[in-house]
Amino acid sequence: MVGQGVGELMGASLRVFLVLEDDKLMLLPLARYEKLHNGDPGASLPEFAGKKVRATVAHLVLHNRKLSSIWRLDYEMLHFDAAGGLDKDEAKESLQHAADVLGGFTRRALTPPSPELEEKVIQAKNRFTGKKFTWKPSKSLNDKIVEAVYKLYERPRRTID
């Protein structure tokens, strides 16, 4: 994307952190995160075999390759199988949950409201299944994640002359 000034470039990036049991953060390369989600056995993390691990995906806005802002932070639970890959059944259920949530938004947007139905039916399925796949950080942990993201962009980059 081209920014407002001549020669200024805007872009987007993702950074993924695993949140360990002691709230320490482990930066996970985006390529490995994607390979985990694609079921690549070479991307497994044996140290997490059989565990549920908190993860944060930071959606970033860049200006001339420098961090401009954090657009959004997503908090997800990663369920690892016995070999340290993502559990396929849990991943499938997570995708189904996401589709249900999006489908609910779409159905509500396209369906005329019915006062009788609104009063009688409470759609709570996504509230319960969502807790299995997402988590909510404390304020101090959220601040720590934000600080870690900004620290990634403080390092001077090597340039080739």
The answer to whether residue 98 sits within a structural domain is: no
- Sheet strands (E) in 23-65: 25-28, 52-63
Total structural domains in the chain?
1
Position 121 in a domain: no
% of the chain surpassing 70 pLDDT: 67
pLDDT tens digits for range 34-68: 999 999 989 999 999 999 999 999 999 999 888 99
Would you say residue 3 lies in a domain? no
| Domain presence at residue 102 | no
pTM for the whole structure: 0.72
Residue 76 lies in a domain: yes
Range of the domain at 32: 10-86+134-152
Residue 137 contacts residue 145 (beta carbons within 8 Å): yes
Cite the beta strand spans of 4-51 per DSSP E: 10-19, 25-28
112 falls within a domain: no
Name, in order, each residue with C-beta under 8 angstroms of 29's C-beta and a sequence gap of 6 or more: 16
Cβ–Cβ < 8 Å for 52, 77: yes
Which segments within 64-153 are labelled E, that is strand?
A: 66-79
- Below-50 pLDDT ranges, the chain: 1-3, 105, 121-122, 124-129
